[in-house]
Structure 1
């Protein structure tokens, strides 16, 4: 199976999953308490003109399947409707855009910190298997993996924000340097758990690679430890680490809901909570659909990178074709 067939296969699976997700998201309107008109009206008065406008805009007089197709067509063109209560009358796409940008920045910052900490420590633990360094790093990873993100966020906020005053305690900041300063504490809170995962994955991959014959032969040829490490161990340990890194990029999209509440960040997580609390169905629909699409795209990219980096995956795929 070539790369084109592999991508096509994964893309079709992703589109099927996204189609199912979009149908479930659209069904939120029908499943919400009251009639769809009552949901779409929110706190606005039910004047005949407004009711007629909403029925026409959302095709409420058509069968359910037709309504869904109209909504899906609009969603493909990034027309996700208008907010009912979060920002009444504002296009949902405009609301989500600014919030998602902040959440994406936080996710990338977390991933960068997790990789910078996790990869070197994981490789060090794998190379020094069974020694004091390995036991210490493994213990550190276990503690980090079990740390509750919400509680850790509060501790970091209190110690480094309130007591020491090194970092801001709320808001997202303006400009690059200010934004980095504001996002550092929430990024560290999330990266603590993510780096523990990276340490474990990197350690396991390093152990597997160092046991291979080609690494043993490289050492017998008299190559320096640094050359063996960077030319053979690091290169061949990359596929599982890349896979875990891509999947970890998804984690802040979920855990970020709690982080954004603690640090008062106006991101996608806080927007979702506000929309659910105020029963703003169009915002919930649009944000859920976008987050689901991002998860599917990230998984597709991870599969593609793994296919390109790991020859074993390519051989297995060719064997199936």
Structure 2
């Protein structure tokens, strides 16, 4: 069982990362060229009184630290502000689009875990044709960029065979899963290829380790050694790689959402950057940082649950 202090320390570290990241995100937006009031007037010539009114409405005349503190306290209460582009609440915009991105990332993560680890174990425990086929497939998957993989999948399975829809996110649970199948595959394939290679290498290294060879020499069934020692110990480096790639799926999903015209936060962020919609960009950025931190926390906990020596050394 993972000690409580181990979890508490990881949570405190996550909170510290989120606070520092939120400050950097807020500062970076105001350090960027342009300003909210210039976007709002759309290049029109307005009087100084109008500009002053706009700055007062959005508290742009307050000191920087005051603006940051007000923004941070509002975010902690679930208030991300108002979009400058369409005057909608940013929280409502995120609520409408976040489910699509979360479903896409979740499906891609499942594909990475099942396909990547499964093929890696298969290649690591078997020689010959199986190993060579998995190595070839992983090399191809790693070499193909996400956007190109999306185009290939659309051409073959949507345009050619007509098995899957090309555009949109669908309505309802099952229809949405059907619409997100190809995007999730395009998003997951490069990462699944890397995970398969790492898993194969880790399995083979553990199979040649001294404790595995001695266990088999003492008469312990190979299937038991494989299950309790080789695969379990191999999951230490694999869990780290899987966690990093799953965290990276959130950023990579933007490309896939654009290719398949999905209504996720990726397309929302692209449009917000183009329009200099500061509130939306800040909200999406802090969500990405939080998601990455949470996934890393889960990887740490998984790492500690697999190998008790890890948590013992970090307490």
The answer, yes or no, to whether TM exceeds 0.5 is yes
> Hey, what's the Cα distance between the residues in 1 that align with 2:36 and 2:96?
28
2:201 equivalent to 1:193: no
- Residues 168/16 of structure 1: CA separation in 2 closer, same or farther (3 Å cut): same
> Hey, what's the Cα distance between the residues in 1 that align with 2:21 and 2:41?
25
> Hey, what's the Cα distance between the residues in 2 that align with 1:229 and 1:46?
74
2:95 to 90, 97, 100: 97
2:227 equivalent to 1:230: yes
Count of residue pairs the alignment pairs up:
314
- C-alpha deviation, 1:43, in angstroms: 8.3
Is the partner of 1:166 in helix, strand or coil? Answer: coil
Counterpart of 1:25 in structure 2 is 25
> Hey, what's the Cα distance between the residues in 2 that align with 1:209 and 1:17?
35
> Hey, what's the Cα distance between the residues in 2 that align with 1:49 and 1:3?
60
Which segment is superposed worse, 228-237 or 161-170? 228-237
- C-alpha deviation, 1:50, in angstroms: 7.8
In the TM superposition, 1:1-321 aligns within 5 A as 3-39=3-39, 54-56=54-56, 58-85=58-85, 88-128=86-126, 131-317=128-314
Extract unaligned runs of 5+ from structure 1: none
**Contact kept? 2:37, 2:55, Cα under 8 Å:** yes
- Residues 79/201 of structure 1: CA separation in 2 closer, same or farther (3 Å cut): same
**Contact kept? 1:206, 1:237, Cα under 8 Å:** yes
> Hey, what's the Cα distance between the residues in 1 that align with 2:42 and 2:300?
42
**Contact kept? 2:36, 2:277, Cα under 8 Å:** no
- C-alpha deviation, 1:263, in angstroms: 0.7
> Hey, what's the Cα distance between the residues in 1 that align with 2:12 and 2:236?
23
**Contact kept? 2:36, 2:278, Cα under 8 Å:** no
1:119-161 per-position Cα deviation (integer Å, ceiling 9, x unaligned):
22211222235x4432332222121111111111111111111
- Residues 277/207 of structure 1: CA separation in 2 closer, same or farther (3 Å cut): same
> Hey, what's the Cα distance between the residues in 2 that align with 1:47 and 1:28?
28
> Hey, what's the Cα distance between the residues in 2 that align with 1:45 and 1:84?
18
- C-alpha deviation, 1:60, in angstroms: 2.6
Extract unaligned runs of 5+ from structure 2: none
> Hey, what's the Cα distance between the residues in 1 that align with 2:73 and 2:40?
19
**Contact kept? 1:39, 1:281, Cα under 8 Å:** no
**Contact kept? 1:202, 1:241, Cα under 8 Å:** yes
**Contact kept? 2:84, 2:279, Cα under 8 Å:** yes
**Contact kept? 2:6, 2:311, Cα under 8 Å:** no
Is the partner of 2:167 in helix, strand or coil? Answer: coil
- C-alpha deviation, 1:246, in angstroms: 2.1
1:248-304 per-position Cα deviation (integer Å, ceiling 9, x unaligned):
211221211111111111111111111111221111111111111111111112112
**Contact kept? 1:14, 1:300, Cα under 8 Å:** yes
**Contact kept? 1:41, 1:84, Cα under 8 Å:** no
> Hey, what's the Cα distance between the residues in 2 that align with 1:293 and 1:89?
25
> Hey, what's the Cα distance between the residues in 2 that align with 1:46 and 1:90?
24
Q: For the aligned residues, what is the CA RMSD?
A: 2.6
- Residues 312/44 of structure 1: CA separation in 2 closer, same or farther (3 Å cut): farther
1:7-50 per-position Cα deviation (integer Å, ceiling 9, x unaligned):
34333332232222212222244234444433456689979998
